[in-house]
Structure 1
Amino acid sequence: QKQTAAALEAKTEALDRLEWTDYLHRIALAHREWEANDIARMERLLAGCPERLRHWEWHYLWRLCHTELLRLPACDQAVGAVAWNPDGKRLATSWGDDVRVWDADTGKALLTLRGHRSLVAGLAFTPDGMRLASVSADRTGRVWDIAGGKELFSLTGHEQQVRAVAVSPDGRRIATGSADRTIRLWDAGSGKELFTLHGHPDEVIQVAFHPEGGLLASAGSDGAVKLWDLAARQEEPALRGPAPPARNRSPARLAFSPDGKRLAVVRSGQGVTLWDTAKRQVEYVLAIPLPGAHGAAFSPDNRHLAWSQDRNVMIWDAVARTPPQRIQGHPGEVFPVAFRPDGRRLASAGVDGLVKVWDPATPQEAMHLGGSELAFSLDDRQIATISSGGIALHDRLTGRRFQIRDDAWLAHLAFNHNGRQVAASVRPRSGRLDEPGEIRIWDALSGERTQTLHGHKGMVMAVVFDPTGPRLATASLDGTVRVWNEETGQEIHAWSAHRDGVAAVVFASDGKQLASAGTDRVVRIWDPATGKLRAALAGHPRGLRCLAFSPDGKRLASGEGEGGKPAEVRLWDPA
């Protein structure tokens, strides 16, 4: 009977370990999808993790793909328009053929405006916030009374779908752009058509009033950008600057700065062009590839430009002209973006049917340096992060940035004792845990790979350098710990350290002790010079995940990490 109970307990423990291993595999894959910007697959992987196993790493990844301040209920169709009212308390969005108005703080739906017979493509509030203009693929525009939730009148005259709408700064005129290649101006009080502007050879997809109201900018699906003198009712001379390449006539997106001094033009594949509106010439070109660029908006302080780019929202400091910051979180392609009138919130919407509200002051790169795992050199001068395409190195004193190119799936980053070498383990692309492990070492100055270490028969779970000299210790799911000479790549010691996988390994600050821990719940302390076991510290009720020596080497901390169960941290006297 005792043998049966012991066998049942062993079987239960084996199943628990298998489930925990599967959980870790899902976590690793979810992080890889974050790097690949596939939020939909990332969410599916995380949702598939059993709730009882979800530790800090699960919550960290979940927060990464949900950093928005507010998320409105999902629409079953793409959301192609979003607009803030002037006081920033309400947010209007397209909702299929309808328009919905939301409380911008709580996300509660306040109004549903029905009347269009096809997808709503554009929205714009009047300056007093009392009226809302909408346009649709049904070839009409409509003006709504927000207080009563009723349609006041429709704007009819376009011969094809209406793609864009804007309200003049004084609230007296409405401009609409259509697939019929025309722009029409309307009286915002009565809905009467005032005049039509002709000149675009293709669909008009955006219109924008200059803040002073006498100038209108328009963009076409062919990439053409035009300026119109509304008093003269004619096109102004062409903007002087680079035209879209003939092979890349991608649609353009427009945004005037609130002070009217600049016009930003965003084009897929060409980048961002800032125009001086007084001189009618290019002020600056941010030449970067922009796949799937759709919306564009200036912040109220004239400083930041936001645009949609594939499944991202990008924010660029157009004054300092530093590299754009990225906000991830949309599972699908993003369409419109809009700053709240006070500039403290940014709304985005897209093909995924989601509308999200962000804090534009804290884009994600500012929080995690654009990488996944992070390591500091011993002198704290260098930071290394693992990201898609390799390892990024940043010198905190000089600001120098350097990229080590490597297409492998890297993990467990570490600097050597003098900061001149950096190492990482290689995860198997298949995700199988029993594939032979590999460790790579690079020169941190040149980026050249100096060593490739083989020997482990399972996935490598930890990489750590000796802080006093050229030794490297690694731990693996194959149950072994290995010590290497980082300069020659020669294996110095290898021993079966634990009954099951080894999850952590760490050197003491003087390099004279090496501790390891694993799922067998035991901490072992080794002499790294001889490979001899000095002590075995038992007492943890669950599998171990992490270790740390105190700076003086007189204390050793060990932490548990067995999915879904209460975890302990214990302090030991390693002597």
Structure 2
Amino acid sequence: MIDVPDGSWSALESAVAAEGVDAVLARWDGPEPLRRVLDLEAHHLRGGETGSFVAQQVLTRARALGFSETARGARERIDAEGRTVLEERWRTRPFPPALLRTLAGHRAGVADAAFAPDGRLFSMAEDGDLRVWDVRTGLSRPVVLARPSPSARPIRLAVSGDGALLAVAFLDRAIHVLGLGDGTATAVGHHDGWIHRLRFVPGPRPRLASVSEDRTVAIWDVAARRALHVLSGHAGDVTAFAVSPDGRTVVSGAGDATLRVWDVDTGVCRQVVEEDDDVFALAFGADGGTLHATTRRGAVLRFDVRGGALGDRVRLDTPRVGRYGRGWARDVAVLPGGRALVANDDTVLDVWGPRARVSSLTGHRGPVTVAAVSADGRRAVTGDEAGTLLLWDTDAADDVPDALPGLPLGVASVAVSHRAGVVVAGSRELPLVARDVGTGEELWTVRSEEDSEEEPDPGPDLMWSSPSGLYTALGRTVELRSLRTGAVEHTVEMPGTVAVGRGDHAVTVAGRRLTVVDAATGAVGATAELPAPLGVPTRVAAARGLEVVAVAGGGHLAVWDPRSGRGATVELRLHATSTAVADGPEVVVRDLAVDDEGCHVLAAGDEGLVHCWDVASGRVTVLSADRTRVPAVAGLAGHRAVSVGERDGVVTVWDLTAAWTVCAAPLDSRLSAVAVDGDHLAVGDGAGNTHLLRLADGGRARGDTDTG
């Protein structure tokens, strides 16, 4: 149909625009690598988050997957059109080959998910949005429920083994069962507390099991609409349970650090097993001969099951490379071959064999909350707090080395120097990690004292590169480090808290006083007293040469020229859906930037909007950049700026004079930080990854000037 290597990119783009990406994929007979790229990018191409320029999306994903020929074809198309492009050069955690597609549609975190026997996937978000997915296409539709009361919100779900029934637990503690064929709804019963989990019990008649913060396990007869057993004994919230494949046994885990084994037919507790931590999730193997458990501090346990009782226990919690501490292991699902898929709070999935971990999978934007496996075991789905579901090929889940480069925590700050060939990323707590601009290989790391029993050393509040090296600032202290080794060359105490750095200068804040300081020597330069409406500044930014310093605070923006002392102030108003700041709440400005020419100020906020202030005219233009939050912005040359989105994971370059999007690159990450050096952009995300992108205009790089 479409043979892109022979130059049919225009045909592909026209088909996607006219028919939609799903119709194009349904009749695809083009190259397989391009089909896989379009499959993985379908949620962006159909959602309109990054415009309709197909080649940009293809380029970003193809490079991430290592499909060099596909990426080259996309880049040639972009160059031929004379378009501006953001090309991702590398990322520290590449997409695993097991990832099949991203399921995007929920606007809140994923609360639960379950496969029907026919392969359909049901998922529920924290806001009560219930959807059913066709995993072959990635398309979904909402499932409308009759709520038991106006305030009731669905929070958990389960699908029966024959696919005929859908059980839903509500926030008001009620449980209803919906017939998926005729849509009839039946009220089964209720708990006296929040319902943590819900599952059907295999067997000839429909039975349902649930666990709750009321410290009980309940077994329900769906047809009779009554509880067969309400099982008590736990001394804490019952947060986890699993039903054996033969339907005879339920194992529950709770906040009292115990496991209890129950007989489903009699309600008798057969066994109590004490652990050293609260149990978070449980899952039986397909044959019922093993049980996997996860705990609050990230331990993974595997029990042999004999005669309906737990036997030998193996602890599978070897520290993963790059893992920070002992994060929660939120959920577990058992894959074919007895492997366990564990969803972790640090955004990473671990695949465990009988005795050891075999791989770690990345790709989630936030802590992973849910894991489920299809009836045939060929597919798994995992959901996260960002509302994203990832679909996995379980056969390919082992083909990933257990090594995760990057930061163990989310990236809080980044710096890039093309001249030195270094990208540095830092988290709220050390380490700092430096990587080669060309290859992404690690050059050096600065870590906390490993033998210390104290809290980890804090990471820098901000950092920036200059021809002199890497400056890192924490409070009033600035350190200059070698960009090649990370060694501290000297330390300077500042007259105030360091708010922004450019080149070899910093701007500090003490009360309402701004001061320009030589970061290398501590010599004090120009100072200014901020106007009263600003109060204490919340964010400060500066143009490349410090010709303009911008300040946000008290619902106002101000600029100051340190050379002339001149300044201006404008009231910062929110989008029309929010209260104006004149007599209302202060605007939350997450980050501030000034373009290299000092003509425009960009203020990023919590509503996914950025406010662009044309300093000369005083006009403020509101730009929509993300569905929830823009955590970081940076100025560029040519009256441009770049923003990164937390929810949509898109890097956007803006033309500030025309207030429009120049280009955008979807990274499928929860982006958190950005730094610019000429045509190089370093971007950090909440999962600890660093991305290096390059900006090119009309097929030509913008230049290699070191901007600091």
Q: TM-score normalised to the size of structure 1?
A: 0.55
Q: Is the CA contact 1:179–1:205 (under 8 Å) kept in the aligned structure 2?
A: yes
SS of the residue corresponding to residue 405 of structure 2 reads coil
Structure 2 unaligned residues grouped into runs of 5+ = 1-63, 65-81, 320-324, 408-422, 447-459, 470-480, 491-501, 505-676, 681-693, 702-708
Cα gap change, 1:317 to 1:163, in 2 (>3 Å): closer
Cα gap change, 1:562 to 1:268, in 2 (>3 Å): closer
Hey, what's the Cα distance between the residues in 1 that align with 2:425 and 2:90? 21
Residue 189 of structure 2, aligned match among 141, 144, 156: 156
Cα gap change, 1:304 to 1:61, in 2 (>3 Å): same
Hey, what's the Cα distance between the residues in 2 that align with 1:368 and 1:53? 37
Q: Is the CA contact 2:125–2:387 (under 8 Å) kept in the aligned structure 1?
A: no
Cα gap change, 1:149 to 1:243, in 2 (>3 Å): same
Partner residue in 1 for 2:287: 259
Residue 230 of structure 2, aligned match among 176, 184, 196: 196
Cα gap change, 1:290 to 1:148, in 2 (>3 Å): farther
Q: Is the CA contact 1:226–1:235 (under 8 Å) kept in the aligned structure 2?
A: yes
Hey, what's the Cα distance between the residues in 2 that align with 1:268 and 1:425? 29
Q: Is the CA contact 1:335–1:348 (under 8 Å) kept in the aligned structure 2?
A: yes
Q: Is the CA contact 1:424–1:440 (under 8 Å) kept in the aligned structure 2?
A: no
Indicate the structure whose relative CO is greater, using CA pairs within 8 Å and at least 6 residues apart.
Answer: 2
Alignment of 1:26-37 (within 5 A): none
Hey, what's the Cα distance between the residues in 2 that align with 1:96 and 1:441? 48
- Does residue 232 in structure 1 map to residue 266 in structure 2? yes
Cα gap change, 1:424 to 1:327, in 2 (>3 Å): closer
- Does residue 88 in structure 1 map to residue 127 in structure 2? no
- Does residue 283 in structure 1 map to residue 316 in structure 2? no
Deviations 1:485-531 (A, max 9, x none): xxxxxxxxxxxxxxxxxxxxxxxxxxxxxxxxxxxxxxxxxxxxxxx
Partner residue in 2 for 1:412: 436
Deviations 1:6-33 (A, max 9, x none): xxxxxxxxxxxxxxxxxxxxxxxxxxxx
Hey, what's the Cα distance between the residues in 1 that align with 2:503 and 2:445? 12
Q: Is the CA contact 1:124–1:134 (under 8 Å) kept in the aligned structure 2?
A: yes
Hey, what's the Cα distance between the residues in 1 that align with 2:424 and 2:379? 28
Partner residue in 1 for 2:87: 56
1:114 CA displacement = 3.2
Partner residue in 1 for 2:101: 69
Q: Percent identity?
A: 20
Partner residue in 2 for 1:250: 278
SS of the residue corresponding to residue 371 of structure 1 reads coil
Cα gap change, 1:361 to 1:369, in 2 (>3 Å): farther
Which amino acid counterpart does residue 202 of structure 1 have in structure 2?
Answer: G
Aligned-residue CA RMSD (Å): 4.6
Hey, what's the Cα distance between the residues in 1 that align with 2:389 and 2:443? 41
Residue 167 of structure 1, aligned match among 200, 220, 223: 200
Tell me which structure has the larger Cα radius of gyration: 1
SS of the residue corresponding to residue 277 of structure 1 reads strand
Cα gap change, 1:98 to 1:424, in 2 (>3 Å): closer
Q: Is the CA contact 2:292–2:300 (under 8 Å) kept in the aligned structure 1?
A: yes
Cα gap change, 1:364 to 1:322, in 2 (>3 Å): closer
1:364 CA displacement = 10
1:452 CA displacement = 9.6
Hey, what's the Cα distance between the residues in 2 that align with 1:124 and 1:171? 17
1:175 CA displacement = 1.1
Cα gap change, 1:204 to 1:291, in 2 (>3 Å): same
1:354 CA displacement = 3.0
- Does residue 436 in structure 1 map to residue 468 in structure 2? yes
SS of the residue corresponding to residue 174 of structure 1 reads strand
Partner residue in 2 for 1:138: 172
Residue 293 of structure 1, aligned match among 288, 312, 329: 329
Which amino acid counterpart does residue 378 of structure 2 have in structure 1?
Answer: R
Deviations 1:387-423 (A, max 9, x none): 9899xxxxxxxxxxxxxxx9443122899xxxxxx96
Which amino acid counterpart does residue 219 of structure 2 have in structure 1?
Answer: L
Which amino acid counterpart does residue 565 of structure 1 have in structure 2?
Answer: G
- Does residue 306 in structure 1 map to residue 334 in structure 2? no
Hey, what's the Cα distance between the residues in 2 that align with 1:262 and 1:253? 14
Hey, what's the Cα distance between the residues in 2 that align with 1:425 and 1:354? 31
Hey, what's the Cα distance between the residues in 2 that align with 1:424 and 1:78? 36
Partner residue in 2 for 1:21: none
1:434 CA displacement = 1.9
Hey, what's the Cα distance between the residues in 2 that align with 1:269 and 1:368? 20
SS of the residue corresponding to residue 400 of structure 2 reads helix
